Structure 1
Amino acid sequence: MTCKAYRAAILHSIADPAEVGIEASYEYFADGLLVVDNGQIKAVGPASELLGTLAADVAVTEYKDALITPGFIDTHIHFPQTGMIGAYGEQLLDWLNTYTFPCENQFADKAHADEVADVFLKELLRNGTTTALVFGSVHPQSVDALFEAAQHLDLRLIAGKVMMDRNAPDYLTDTAETGYSESKALIERWHGKGRLHYAVTPRFAPTSTPEQLTLAGKLLGEYPDVYLHTHISENLQEIEWVKSLFPERKGYLDVYDHYQLLGERSVFAHGVHLCDEECARLAETGSAVAFCPTSNLFLGSGLFNLPMAEKHKLNVGLGTDVGAGTSFSLLNTLNEAYKVMQLQGARLDPFKSLYLATLGGARALRLEDKIGNLQPGSDADFLVLDYNATPLMSYRLKQSKNIAETLFVLMTLGDDRTVQQTYAAGNLVHQR
């Protein structure tokens, strides 16, 4: 791949605003240049300084009325639920039985999984998401289909087969042993291949026996650089159910802790009802939480306490949680996140929002040296956001006084239409 350069306003997070303050958390170049070589970022900075350093044959693509940012990172999403997004009228446990399990059963058919993988990845890229942490179904072929499609596009993607050996329909359960052996085979086949990573994926504590959770922990011990991806403390009824199934444990998190599932690459979706002690334990073990506001509102689960997570320096990424989440767009998800904070009397600054959608997600996934920012040496995963995506956005942004206001408008009014182009490893993978 030859060297290329992209000129526009450029913005990226370089630190967590909660730790360093707003002003020190980002870099902004009103007239910036991003230089990409061989799928990686070679330089970023003011166009006036960098243009003179380019070789004569380097093509410069210029964008007017646009902002270049890192690609968005979705730290929790369900690929098999693409076809049931917007399913009406239930809370978590009834919703799983009514909609989710029948929908996921279709992924026993590899041809169906291939078809949905294509739709799913196109939706991610159309919405500017260049990396996602993804639930497959219980069927290994669901993960094969997704990884095959992602590899073809050279995406950085993390996924895993669901492990679920109880409290689910017979047609959708594995066993402790098959969950282990099928996951192991998928790790051997896919983990570390290109930009792909594997996540050991027990659905949640109620659908795995102690034997299965033990073997999930065994996989993490055998393959220390794979991920663990599951759910925690999403719904009050769910939490009571966990207590009844594991009465010997002191709480929901303690179940996972007991089976050695906490660690630097462990991501727990939701965490709406975590207590201080649980946040502290997650932070101590280097685990992360995926904040999924659209899903939490849609299923009536509750409001995630971001200030409590910040107090404990707990890594937090953003998740759409499609299909309970109602949009693939992380801009849309940030719109909802802002409201979730408002309902708790807290503020979500636009630069913290940018952090959650990019560098915060990368840190949650321990990939901040590769994605989530535009530092030289990072993968060239980036977006071009169009200030004139809609007539209203165009009109509103003409009133904007600074980049903070512009950023907030993009997150409040923005959606898939805002994403003009998506690049992954320097390749154009979506053009609006």
Structure 2
Amino acid sequence: MIIRGFRGELLSVSRDPHHHPDAIRHEPDGLLVVEDGIIIARGDYQTLAPRYPGLAIDHLSGLIVPGFIDAHVHYAQMDHIASHGEQLLDWLDRHIFPAEKAFADRTHADRTANLFLDELLRNGTTSALVFPTVHAHSVDALFDAALDRNMRILSGKILMDLGPEGLADTVDSARDESDALIRRWRGRGRLGYAVTPRFALTSSDAQLQVAGALLADHPDVLLHTHLAENLRECAAVADRFPTAHDYLDVYDRFGLVGDRSVFAHGVHLSDRACTRLAESGAGIAICPSSNLFLGSGFFDFGQADAHGVRIGLGTDVGAGTSFSLLHTAGLAYQAALSRHYPLDPFRALYLATAGSAVLLHIDDRVGGLEPGQEADFVQLDYAATPLLARRTANATLADRLFALQILGDDRVIARTYIMGQCAWDRQGIAS
């Protein structure tokens, strides 16, 4: 049994402050007490410390927040981040499908998975829902690397029997390989599985039926796919499924809309779809960086709130242009403001932490820095750049947090902790 304390300024938002203003928890001089990787106590230092005489305490400067949780990211696309010149469908054909074909090589998958997870940790991301490729061993590579780092990662092989040559699986292989992966990885480490049809256009009706059957057979897994990202994509879906009410209804007809469904983007949603998302408990991973980069549009926060749709935050690398969820939260503010919605910095932090945890059904484990949760957290440096130091000096908590989101990026991450152990240190000093 190892008990350790971490003293510093603590901030978390465990519930959506849009509905629960009292969810913002802040201790200017706080203490986290961690036993064997689990938070057993949190509170004001002066009040809590006397209960733990002789406790070894690390003093952390800056701001301590929960580890960031990326609700939608593609590890196989990281080498093609910042690829020029196309909107979604042409960008996939020109840049992404050729890149994903390289993952037929397990060695390439292993190397990329390790680099990808290191990049997450460098940016303060401790949990993620990840798209791999159609190759089953791309999941094995990612999960092996995650086990080595003790990270909470969810993923599942892509299903796309209508994909291009070299990336198309079959109805049978989709079922058999997914089922085998679920059974191979279930219960190991901090891993979780997601049934992952790429999107409606790349799977046959028969394969979408298989995806629905997998969800029914394995009620502990997620559904992870794309929804209503790009207008041309939406038009193509409407052409293929002319009797569907809308894009979401296509998935619904195959049993893919439920409380464990995570849909990326949702930029172009009908009110009917939003009503159905809310009543089903499904949610949207908002990806503002990607939506801007590919010219897809901006998520409508007002529409989502009006219908009570669950939302979280994703970087969507490689269409997204940064691994930093802190920076992505700043872009979410700008995207929301373009639709006359002033996103509060505390709500932005919620989306990047507990909000994404709710979408991924891991909010009992991470996201709030609450007793009983795993001690995944990040130390943010207010003075990471001269401009940030100047902007945050003598500022209110809200202004400091907002400045970190708008002006911050990977440079702000001083340390990333996984279950109370330092997993990344900007100075390269082991904890």
Q: TM-score range by the shorter chain?
A: over 0.9
Instruction: Find 1:74's aligned residue among 56, 59, 70.
Output: 70
1:99 aligns with 2:87: no
1:60 to 57, 61, 67: 57
Which 5+ residue runs of structure 2 have no aligned equivalent?
Answer: 427-431
Match of 1:362 in 2: 357
Provide the residue aligned with 1:228 in structure 2: 223
AA at the equivalent of 1:197: G
Q: Percent identity?
A: 51
- Quote the Cα distance in structure 2 between the aligned partners of 1:350 and 1:131: 21
Aligned with 2:28 (options 5, 8, 30): 30
Q: What does 1:32-431 correspond to in 2, within 5 Å?
A: 32-56=30-54, 58-64=55-61, 66-166=62-162, 168-400=163-395, 402-431=396-425
CA contact (8 A) 2:6 2:58 kept: yes
Corresponding residue number in structure 1 for 2:11 = 11
Count of aligned residue pairs for this structure pair: 426
- Offset from partner CA, 1:330-351 (integer Å, 9 cap, x none): 0110111111011111101111
The Cα shift of 1:399 comes to 4.0
Shift of 1:162: 0.5
Partner secondary structure for residue 166 of structure 2: helix
Distance in 2 (CA, whole Å) between partners of 1:8 and 1:310 is 34
* TM-score when normalising by structure 1: 0.97
SS of the equivalent of 2:19 reads helix
Deviation of 1:63 (Å) = 1.9
What is the identity, as a one-letter code, of the residue corresponding to 2:9? A
Q: Secondary structure at the match of 1:170?
A: coil
* Alpha-carbon distance, 1:248 to partner: 2.5
The DSSP-based 3-state class of the residue aligned with 1:234 is coil
Say if 2:388 and 2:403, in contact at 8 Å, map to a contact too.
Answer: yes
Cα deviation, residue 192, structure 1: 2.4
Scaled by the length of structure 2, the TM-score of the pair is: 0.97
CA contact (8 A) 1:200 1:219 kept: yes
Q: Which runs of 4+ in 1 moved over 3 A?
A: none
Query: Is contact 1:232-1:253 (8 Å) kept?
Result: yes
Give the alignment's Cα RMSD to 1 decimal.
0.9
C-alpha contact (below 8 Å) 2:246/2:270 kept by paired residues: no
Question: What is the CA-CA distance between 1:302 and the residue it aligns to?
Answer: 0.6
The separation in 2 between residues aligned to 1:141 and 1:242, in whole angstroms, is 30
Inter-partner Cα distance in structure 1 for 2:195 and 2:186: 11
Cα distance in 2 for partners of 1:154, 1:324 equals: 27
Counterpart Cα distance in 2 of 1:262 and 1:354: 27
- Is 133-142 or 47-56 further displaced after alignment? 47-56
